[in-house]
Amino acid sequence: MTTMAATLRAPLWRRLVGFNLLTAIVLGVGGWYAGWFGARAIVGPSLDYFADVDYNELSVFLAYLGGVVGFLAGLGFLNYPLARLRGYPPSLREKETEGIGRYFSLCTDHKVVGIQYLWGIGLFFFIGGLNAMLIRFELLRPNHQAFPAGTYLTLVGLHGTMMMGMMTSGILGPFGNYLVPIMIGARRMAFPRIEALTFWLLMAAGAILETTIFFGGFPTGWTGYVPLANEANPGMDNYILFFALVGISMTLLGLNMIATIVTMRAPGLTWTRLPIFVWGVLSTSTLMVLAAPVLVATLSMEALDRTAQTSFFVAGAGGSNYLYENLFWVFGHPEVYILALPGFAIVLELLPVFARKPLWGYRLAVAGLLGVTLLSWLVWQHHLFVSGINGDLRPFYMLSTELISIPTGFTFVCGMMTLWRGRIRYSVPMLFCLAWFFNFLLGGLSGVFLSDVPSDVTTHGSFFSMAHFHYTIMGGLVFAFFAAIYYWVPKMTGFQLNERLGKIHFWTMFLFFNSTFMPLFAAGFLGQPRRVVTYPQGLQFLNDWVSVSAFCLGASLLLFLFNLVYSLAFAKVPAEANPWRSKSIEFQLPSPVPVHNFDRIPVFSSDPYGYGEAPAPVVAPAGAPAGRS
């Protein structure tokens, strides 16, 4: 089969022509210019303010919208809707079974999309990390040295927005798409084309955000607060388009996950047998579907304020900047848990494997995930304690914020009890899981100071809060992300990652992560504010320590990248089908997983955490009826 495919393979030039990334980039650039000149030619003469500023918002918006449409058309996303309009019957696009080209085009294989996400998000994660390095370089000295003050703000905004936007899909994108259908015994996602669309929208969004530097950047950080956003350069439009596209992608991703999990579970997979990772995906998806549309709507209103002279958020013209702040955080705080919950789920999924014990308190763990999902809607105004909101609101939001530590604590209890008297194997994924507990504990404890109004008044907007959320998001999500990479990438690629390099990566990352962010609690207490390019001379030692640690942290991540390239492209040590002796269904399949996942649809008879118990068949023996998925 492979030989025949190889002999029938078209020459390179022929393979480059068609609906793929190359065509998408060409049409994307063309669409961009069409939008830019279209706005100037058609709309420009009718609007006075076009003459007042050289850059103008409408041109930027229409250019990028044109670019996105061209990009998606180049990938072939319009083909199917157009075919349906022409009367063709509904169909599923055939999956491409081999070749690197499928990773650079619209592919409906959920495993390909998962790997696309892994590399795509990884790319933007490293760009966000580069921006962090530049920020720390600038802060080596108390006074400005490399970047103008406005550019420093843009760097901070680019780092924060990229990380917060891209990493929302950091787990669900690669691992959710790849693993959820397999874990529930399905052969595909409910909406394969939408699944692919969510990935390519995210890639377009990332490019839009980075090109803000050609339009003066944006000064608002990742929150995009008005009235500053109303006054900002056209680079602000890139922020709006980025986050709006991310919001659309998140909404579709969440809907697809929910539909898949609810409707496509294999026989026997009851809710109480669902892997805890799938529960984490389900709760995160629920937050995405409910929160992300608020973001898209908010940014649409802001876009109208900047282009069509509406005044939703212009206080002087009947609008309210508080409206923006509230709407943003109605999205923004669930967003924090969209980042955190997949980390909870991964840690709880991996602990039983490496402790060789069943997951302790499965139902309690699920209750923890659902409790956080529910309570995350009731806390958003703790971000606005010092904004001048009605003081009577403060006690409620203070208490609701502190209440969320209870379901979060469920995760800790289940994790600790699973480890209790376990036969723990300190493999790389397990090390990252254990570090997650340490980091997230510090993040949670420091969060108490920010949820309490009296202490928040002094710590809000300082490096203390910055250190806090890096402990929860980088210490939580990113450590879990790496645990997942070391755990599942052998399954996804068929090649084992180098264990020794992995351990060096872990220890250097853990050490320098803490060395970077722990001193920032002190810097915050000493009064260093976020998003300010200068600081008092007396804080230079702390800042230099942090900067050097951050550079070492960056080097640790480069070591990971080296490990990835070395293991997958050079060493190529074949991965066993079940290197971790896991009972989860994905590890009962060959590595990498075959195109159609299962020859026969499995029938589940237990959850996947029966370590130390009599073996129970997870997959039905051959001969069971294969349903169509």
Q: Which is nearer to other proteins, 127 or 448 (CB)?
A: 127
Which position among 43, 130, 378, 413 is part of the footprint of other proteins (CB under 8 A)? 130
SS3 308: coil
Residues touching other proteins, count (CB under 8 A): 35
User: Minimum distance between the CB of residue 69 and other proteins, rounded to whole angstroms?
Assistant: 26
User: Minimum distance between the CB of residue 619 and other proteins, rounded to whole angstroms?
Assistant: 33
Which position among 11, 87, 89, 316 is part of the footprint of other proteins (CB under 8 A)? 316
Which position among 33, 42, 119, 231 is part of the footprint of other proteins (CB under 8 A)? 231
Which position among 5, 26, 149, 616 is part of the footprint of other proteins (CB under 8 A)? 149
Rule CB under 8 A: say whether 559 interacts with other proteins: no
* Spatial contact of 449 and 455, defined as CB atoms under 8 Å apart: yes
Rule CB under 8 A: say whether 154 interacts with other proteins: yes
Stretch that binds other proteins, among 10-18, 70-78, 139-147, 495-503 (CB under 8 A): 139-147
User: 574: which strand partners?
Assistant: 495
Q: Which is nearer to other proteins, 323 or 448 (CB)?
A: 323
User: Minimum distance between the CB of residue 143 and other proteins, rounded to whole angstroms?
Assistant: 4
Residue of 168, 150, 158, 169 whose CA lies nearest to 132: 158
Any alpha helices (H) in 356-451, and if so which ranges?
362-375, 394-403, 405-419, 428-451
Q: Which is nearer to other proteins, 455 or 537 (CB)?
A: 537
Position 571: which residue type? A
Distance CA 461, CA 619 (A): 52
Place of tokens 């680079």: 235
User: 426: which strand partners?
Assistant: none
Distance CA 479, CA 470 (A): 11
Which position among 76, 173, 219, 221 is part of the footprint of other proteins (CB under 8 A)? 219
Rule CB under 8 A: say whether 166 interacts with other proteins: no
According to CB under 8 A, which residues from 276 to 305 bind other proteins?
305
User: Minimum distance between the CB of residue 52 and other proteins, rounded to whole angstroms?
Assistant: 3
Distance CA 207, CA 187 (A): 32
Q: Which is nearer to other proteins, 152 or 482 (CB)?
A: 152
User: Minimum distance between the CB of residue 141 and other proteins, rounded to whole angstroms?
Assistant: 10
Torsion of CA 513, 336, 64, 197, to 10 degrees: 100
Rule CB under 8 A: say whether 420 interacts with other proteins: no
- Residue 557, φ and ψ in degrees, nearest 5: -70, -35
Q: Which is nearer to other proteins, 328 or 535 (CB)?
A: 535
Alpha carbon distances (Å) from 266 to 110, 529, 595: 17, 52, 18
Distance CA 376, CA 337 (A): 7
**Neighbouring C-alpha atoms within 13 Å toward the C-beta of 267:** 11
Place of tokens 């980088």: 474
According to CB under 8 A, which residues from 38 to 57 bind other proteins?
49, 51-55
Which position among 78, 213, 417, 441 is part of the footprint of other proteins (CB under 8 A)? 213
Opening angle at CA 448, ends 443 and 450, nearest 5:
95
User: Minimum distance between the CB of residue 486 and other proteins, rounded to whole angstroms?
Assistant: 21
Rule CB under 8 A: say whether 445 interacts with other proteins: no
Position 182: which residue type? I
Which position among 97, 534, 578, 605 is part of the footprint of other proteins (CB under 8 A)? 534
What residues have CB less than 8 Å from 88, skipping those under 6 apart?
none
* Spatial contact of 597 and 264, defined as CB atoms under 8 Å apart: no
Rule CB under 8 A: say whether 99 interacts with other proteins: no
Rule CB under 8 A: say whether 144 interacts with other proteins: yes
Q: Which is nearer to other proteins, 522 or 532 (CB)?
A: 532
Q: Helix, strand, coil % (nearest 5) of the chain?
A: 70, 0, 30
Stretch that binds other proteins, among 3-11, 208-216, 245-253, 270-278 (CB under 8 A): 208-216
* Spatial contact of 535 and 478, defined as CB atoms under 8 Å apart: no
Rule CB under 8 A: say whether 6 interacts with other proteins: no
Residue 275 neighbours by CB distance under 10 Å: 23
Q: Which is nearer to other proteins, 54 or 94 (CB)?
A: 54
Which position among 150, 293, 409, 494 is part of the footprint of other proteins (CB under 8 A)? 150
Rule CB under 8 A: say whether 25 interacts with other proteins: no
Rg (CA), the chain: 25
User: Minimum distance between the CB of residue 515 and other proteins, rounded to whole angstroms?
Assistant: 24
What residues have CB less than 8 Å from 503, skipping those under 6 apart?
428, 431
Rule CB under 8 A: say whether 613 interacts with other proteins: no
Residues that bind other proteins (CB under 8 A): 49, 51-55, 130, 134, 143-144, 146-151, 154-155, 213-214, 216-217, 219, 227, 230-233, 305, 314, 316, 534, 565, 569-570
